[in-house]
Amino acid sequence: MKTKFSERHEVASIKIIDMLPDAEMGTARRLDEQLQTLAASTAGGLPAERLKVRTKAEFDVVMQRIVEACEAGLDVPILHFEAHGSPIGLEYPNGERLLWNDLAMNLTKINRASAHNLIVVMSTCYGSMLSSALSILRPAPFAILVAPSEPVSVGAIELPTERFYSDLLRQLQITDAFDRHLKQHRYISALGFFCRYWLSAYKLIGTAGGRERFREETLTYTLKRVPAANKKHARKAIKHHTPMVFQEQFELNQALFFHGAQPMTVADLKAMLNG
């Protein structure tokens, strides 16, 4: 059964990706035990599974298994990572590195297979570095990321993380649970990232200079991609129909970024500016 969370996302399970050395795996095990208890005792409880990953090869197998389950409609997980992190990525128990960009590529496949419903929680140092993979020019690797931006200790985040999940699964409001418990984490929304970019673009075409800049940038981009026979028509359309071109570009970008989902419209942008 899928459970609805705020910001229009649905999930069906929690997968704990345990990348800690065997001598340090107590935190992942305790979290798994807590989630199993919550699954049995609360209406919002979700089945939890701890997946031990020691090498890149094992990680690849786990990620592919999750992708296939999502594609088959059998799962939409929250992915919770327990690992040692650094500014460049995560560390496997055998000493290998998983770079943030490589992790993002794997998560993008899961986010696509789950129709942009992937929530990622990182109990790792520098976990928010994963957000550096967000780009308006490519599909989002996650819907929501909850992660520390600096070095953190187990003692500082273990209990707050347990309380976060307890509130999340009982109240189904991820932002409320985050605000209440995860003071050392950042909350990063792909929708928020997308909105900030397109709000700036929408404000830009509200001025004469901005409209001209938008036309020129769109024209440059478009003329590189259309056949020679269509260039004259494209130039005329962009020059005289800026609002229409803006909406078309917005919708195309939205379909790319959100893996085909359409969480908002140009009218929503207007409402944000006026609100």
In terms of Cα–Cα distance, which of 25, 133, 151 is closest to 85?
151
Q: What is the CATH number of the domain that holds 112?
A: 3.40.50.1460
- Mean pLDDT is lowest, of 65-74, 110-119, 193-202, for 193-202
Same domain, 262 and 175: no
Among 163, 189, 215, which residue terminates a domain?
189
pLDDT digits (tens, 9 = 90+) for 235-250: 665 555 556 667 888 8
Are residues 246 and 157 part of one domain?
no
Verify that 158 and 216 share a domain, yes or no: no
Provide the residue range defining the domain that includes 27. 3-189
178-181 long-range CB contacts below 8 Å, 24 or more apart? Answer: 178/146
Q: Do 149 and 229 have their domain in common?
A: no
Say which residue, 26 or 187, is predicted with more confidence: 187
Is the domain of 109 the same as that of 197?
no
In the block, residue with structure tokens 């890149």: 56
Query: Among 10-14, 81-85, 169-173, whose mean pLDDT is lowest?
Result: 169-173
Same domain, 182 and 266: no
81 shares a domain with 58: yes
| Three-state SS at 124 | coil
Are 134 and 247 found together in one domain?
no
Domain endpoint, select from 139, 166, 189: 189
Q: Would the pLDDT of 67 be above 50?
A: yes
Domain match, 197 and 182 both: no
pLDDT(188) > 80: yes
Per-residue model confidence (pLDDT) at position 77: 94
Q: Average of pLDDT values for 18-34?
A: 86
Domain count, the chain: 2
- Tell which of 189, 222, 257 closes a domain: 189
User: Which amino acid is residue 177, in one-letter code?
Assistant: A
Give the pLDDT confidence of 92-117 residue by residue, as tens digits: 999 999 999 999 999 999 999 999 99
143 and 220 both lie in a single domain: no
In a shared domain, residues 172 and 225:
no
Q: In 3D, which of 150, 265, 246 has the Cα closest to residue 206?
A: 246
Shared domain check, 248 and 159:
no
Q: How many residues are given for the chain? A: 275
pLDDT beyond 70 at 22: yes
